[in-house]
Chain A
Amino acid sequence: MAHVDQQLEIDAPGARELLDRDPNAILVDVRGADEWAGGYIPGATLVPLRELTERIADVVPDKTRPVVLYCAVGARSLRAAHALVELGYERPVSVAGGIVDWLNRGYPSTMERTLEPAQRERYSRHFLIPEVGELGQLKLLDSSILMIGAGGLGSPAALYLAAAGVGRLGIVDDDVVDESNLQRQVLHSTARLGEPKAQSAKRTLEELNPDVDVVTIQERITSENVDAILAEGWDVIVDGADNFPTRYLLNDAAVWHDIPIVHGSIFRFEGQATVFKPHEGPCYRCLFPQPPPPELAPSCAEGGVLGVLPGVIGSLQANEALKLALGIGDSLVGRLMLFDALSASFTEVAIRRDPDCPVCGDNPTITEYIDYVEFCAA
């Protein structure tokens, strides 16, 4: 072996110096094409790790040239460096810390935008996670999430999404802050009694994070305004409505606008959460083709709710919304998560797309908005 492990790694300043000094040095990005698309180091050639052994000879025919390899944080590129040694390359090195460390040092990349020093500090705990990193943070800052309701579920969800640096948050709520809300709706405060919830939410969220553009929509969602509201370029909808007509209306609209809904609902000690991603998984109508009869459909105002319960479910919704915005992890598509606060237990059930669903099925029978109040009263 010509090399020991230590000699296969180089830090970002060392790599930068080597590339500047040695015109023969060649820079290879071993990440996937999707990661590459988010930005790369200028002058690099993309050779994903799993294609490395078959393609490297085309990219670097001369095995004596220095090959500087990088990935997100340096794990895959170190494996790549070992593979090149096996293939007889004389001078492969892996950039320790990868492109994440490179960007954190403010070195050049093809990304159009970089973060300001205060943002680097604010989101530093995200940068440390390889699945998020600076590229992920930029994705979040570019994302738009629509919150239906700034109440029990919307409060924790919006707080965490704003803190995480989601660039644009829409808040749809036509209600005003009432004393009975403050037991759980942590966006608002005693001083804001009587203030429109959308306004109160905007003040709280912009104080938390000035990076976030909070768009207030002080309206009740109806068949008349839903198309205009959803047409504003939202990546994800977080549904925290508390009545069935709104939930069915929102479902139909989201299927037709092709926007995923992160669903949450709560009652007393129990909550449910899932993700409805149009055409990839079930929609709300696949799960619940019909709402309960009105006497079995009390709202929290009628039936009560433990104050912390929306904190649990709304936080789960924020988690799912962030994953969708980042494009990471396994989402709750096709899985309904049930939480019971009294027994402190989670249960998961499978939910499937119904090919006969009247809205998202193979032969839809509902193709325009219906009278949702009448549908839910039937």
Chain B
Amino acid sequence: MTTVRIPPTLRPDAEGRREVAAAGTTVGEVLQDVADQFPALRARIFENGNIARFVNVYVGGEDIRTQDGLATPVAGDSTVILLPAMAGGGIAR
């Protein structure tokens, strides 16, 4: 199983989980499995069948946009990181 790291802002849609185990041989299959387990996540991370533009996906420390996108192969023991931008810093709104 592949470990998928869920960012803090998406955890409410994944029952608060920080990591989710998912099956698949490509990033697309792994994320489909995640979406099957947590249907609320599907609408967040997928957009017209592709990854939503505000979410970066890393496999083996590399952005899948610089690899084969959803077809990027995933080894069984690898970690997939979902990473949206975070705003937080210092100036109060």
**Chain A contact residues, CB within 8 Å of chain B:** 148-155, 173-175, 178, 181, 185, 220, 239-244, 246-247, 264-272, 287-293, 296-301, 303, 305, 310, 338, 342, 347-352
Docked Cα-Cα span, A108 to B73, in Å, equals: 62
* A221 CB to nearest chain B CB (Å): 9
Docked Cα-Cα span, A310 to B89, in Å, equals: 8
Query: In the complex the two chains form, is B53's CB within 8 Å of A290's CB?
Result: yes
Given A244, A291, A305, A349, which contacts B63 in the complex, CB threshold below 8 Å? Answer: A349
Query: In the complex the two chains form, is B53's CB within 8 Å of A149's CB?
Result: no
- B10 is an interface residue with CB less than 8 A from chain A: yes
Docked Cα-Cα span, A250 to B90, in Å, equals: 15
Chain A residues with CB under 8 Å of B88's CB are 152, 242, 265-267, 299-300, 303, 305
Docked Cα-Cα span, A86 to B89, in Å, equals: 58
Instruction: Give the tally of cross-chain contacts (CB within 8 A).
Output: 132
Q: A290-B53, A348-B61 are in contact. Are A296 and B89 (CB under 8 A)?
A: no
Interface residues on B, range: 20 to 34
Chain B residues with CB under 8 Å of A342's CB are 18
| Interface flags, B49-93, vs A, CB<8A=1, else 0 | 000011110100111001000000000000001011111111111
Given B8, B61, B89, which contacts A240 in the complex, CB threshold below 8 Å? Answer: B89
Chain B residues with CB under 8 Å of A293's CB are 54
**Chain B contact residues, CB within 8 Å of chain A:** 7-10, 18, 44, 53-56, 58, 61-63, 66, 81, 83-93
Docked Cα-Cα span, A173 to B84, in Å, equals: 26
Query: In the complex the two chains form, is B87's CB within 8 Å of A296's CB?
Result: no
Give the residue name and chain of the A residue nearest to B79 (CB): A347
* A208 CB to nearest chain B CB (Å): 18
Chain B residues with CB under 8 Å of A149's CB are 89-91
Chain A residues with CB under 8 Å of B61's CB are 347-350
Query: In the complex the two chains form, is B84's CB within 8 Å of A155's CB?
Result: no
Chain B residues with CB under 8 Å of A154's CB are 89-90
